[in-house]
Structures are given as structure tokens and as C-alpha cells.
Amino acid sequence: MMHTTLLPWHAPFFAQWHAQPNRAHAYLLVAPEDTGGEALLHHLAASVLCEHPTKTHEPCHQCAGCNMLAAYSHPDLRVIRPSMLDINHPIEELRPEKPSKLITIDDVRELANMVNQTSHRGGTRVVLVYPAHKLNLNAANALLKTLEEPPPHTLFILLAHDVKQLLPTIVSRCQRVNLPAPATHDAVDYLTAHYGANPNWAHYLIQENGAVQRVAELHDTAYFKLQDAFVNELAHGKHMDALKLAEQFDKHIKDADKSRLAGEPHIVSMSTVMTWLQRWLHDALLVAQHVAEPRYYAAHASALNKLTTHAPETFVTRAHAWQYALSQEQRSSEHPLNNRTWLEKLLLQYTQLF
Ligand SMILES: [Zn+2]
């Protein structure tokens, strides 16, 4: 396993966290999606489980604790996350038989065995839970019980992107910390250091709302090309061929599902397409109301201008209503009955706004 890393934009928090005189028994870190929150959780765990950390609390990568962590076999660490994330786990026995997109009661139940025993290495036991909003209700209730009667010498660190989707009782049991998305220049520096210079870094980051890990994962796939092709079609407004676009993207989504099973990055899903549509609409509304420059698709500013200048007077009102309806629909976009029918419906509704 590669060693855990501390991303530069988390360094101030990491130092502060270790400087606390008294540690809470449970933390809830709230970070925007794909900004490296998971890496921070693992690095915090590594720094706690290391038996000879450096003065700056970095793991030594040499002690028994660090070696067991690197071999995925530290007895005092539990990682509770949707089993779907382990389908390509480097250790074959740790791959799930029935991958789930949610954290289930079985994932949490296993925890009871661990916390009822004494620590194997005599130190703190660490339980990481992410993303915590993927706990299903039974799992959330089981975790809550453990948090209400915290076992000794056990540190819980939860990560969530959206606190509103968590049980309030879980939130109130944790010390909450909000972590910001990295500043664009920090994220550009990071991407340049790891993937080389690219004139599009800042542009990609803005388009992806600062989700630096997502940009890192997708920059050399067809993702940004597909997104451009999609919004270029949206720019045609009422003249867009909604059925053809739905057919094309239904196929792209199917292809992406196949490549994901082969262990490649999942470049496009129904949820991705809905996010693009929402961001485009967000920008169209900004431009139509002369409120601000486009937030996500600045490169398409003139297309957005042209589109909204020719839109009917009722556009703003109807687009607002539709935007709300879309956000409601997005909640179920992970498991649509039929992507193509759904896409056709949404894209036809879109053309009717103009
Ligand atoms: Zn160590």
C-alpha cells in the first residue's frame, strides 16, 4: 500500500488537531466531495497508530504499527465505508461478495466485536467512517449506539459531504469540523506537482467546483470532452435534438459502467449528467438575470449570453422552478429505472424552457 499523505490544504487542520490538549472521542469532518477528505482521515489514523511518530506527528513508516497499516492488517483500525469502494481492493479476500453503495448494518455490527476487546497494540483504536451520509438508517442507529456509550481508548472520525443527510443525533455526538475546499491556486499547484503542467487545471477545477481529486482522476479520461460536448448541445436551447443527445449519453453511461467494473475511473453516470445540467442552468440563470458571470462554464459565456438573450420572458421563473424539480430528482438518480427514458424526459423539458 502507498503511504497515507497529508494534502497541503489540510496541513493547518492536522497540526491544530494534534495540538489539542484533550482529544474528543468522536469527530465529524465536513469537507466538500472529492477534496481529499478520505486521505485526511487515513492520515490522521496513521499518525495516531504510529508507535514512533515524528515531532510534527507524521507517521514514521518504520514501526510495527506503520507496517501493519501498510499491509492493511492493523488490528486497531476499522474502516467503515460502502463495500462498493472495495471492489478492486489490493487484497483479494477483502473484496466484497455483494458490493453495496451504502454502509449497511453488517459493516457496523463488526465494530462491536472490535471495541469490546482491548486494544491489540496497547494504544488507541481508530474507527474511520466515510462518507457518513452513506450510512443506511439501521447502520446509522447502530453507530449511534456505539457513539452514545463510547468504548475507552477509541477514536471515531467520520467524514461527510452533506451534514443534512446525517442523523442529527450522530452529528450532536461528534465534534464537528468544517474543512474548506482548497483554494484554486493550491489545487493547481498540487495537480501540477503530481500530474505535470496543464493549462486547463484552473478551468477544470472551477467546472468541478473545486473537487481536486475528481479532476486528478478524470483529467486524462474522456470526461471533460464529454462534458464539453454535452453543454455545447445545451447551448442550442430549443433547437437542441433532445432525443439524439439522450441516446448518445445513455450509451456513454453504459460504456462507463462497463469500464468501472474493469477498474477504470467511472467517468459518467446519470448523476454526473444531471450535475452538468444543473450547473449549466445555474449559469444560464446568472447570465439571464445579469447577476454575475457564469460560475462553472465561463468558457461558454458567449453561448450562455446568446441563449438567454433569445429566451422568452418567462424563462427565469420557469427555469427556477425546473431547477428545484431537478434537485429533487437528483436524489434518486443513482438508481433510475431506465436512463434513456429519463434523459429524454429531462432534456425535452429543458428545450421547453426556451
Ligand atoms: Zn510508525
Residue with cell 496497547: 122
Nearest to 80 by CA among 121, 37, 109, 50: 109
Ligand 1 geometric centre to CA of 210 (Å): 32
Ligand 1 geometric centre to CA of 13 (Å): 21
Residue 105: per-residue pLDDT: 92
Ligand 1 geometric centre to CA of 58 (Å): 8
In contact, 311 and 320? CB cutoff 8 Å: no
Ligand 1 geometric centre to CA of 113 (Å): 25
Pairing outcome for strands 175-178 and 154-160: unpaired
Q: Distances from the Cα of 56 to the Cαs of 157, 182, 190, 301, in angstroms?
A: 20, 22, 21, 46
In contact, 205 and 298? CB cutoff 8 Å: no
Q: How far apart are the first and last CA of the chain?
A: 52
Per-residue pLDDT of the chain (354 residues; tens, 9 = 90+): 568 889 999 999 999 999 999 999 999 999 999 999 999 999 999 999 999 999 999 999 999 999 999 999 898 999 999 998 898 888 888 899 888 989 999 889 878 777 667 667 778 999 999 999 999 999 999 999 999 988 888 999 999 998 988 999 999 999 999 998 899 999 999 999 999 999 999 999 999 989 999 999 999 999 999 999 999 999 999 999 999 999 999 999 999 988 877 778 888 988 899 999 999 999 999 999 998 899 999 999 999 999 999 899 899 999 999 999 888 877 665 555 688 998 999 999 999 999
The answer to ipTM > 0.85 is yes
Ligand 1 geometric centre to CA of 89 (Å): 23
Nearest to 270 by CA among 221, 342, 348: 342
The residue type of 265 is: P
Residue 70: per-residue pLDDT: 93
Which residues lie below 8 Å from residue 108, measured CB to CB, with a gap of 6+? 80, 135, 139, 142, 143, 146
Residue 263: per-residue pLDDT: 74
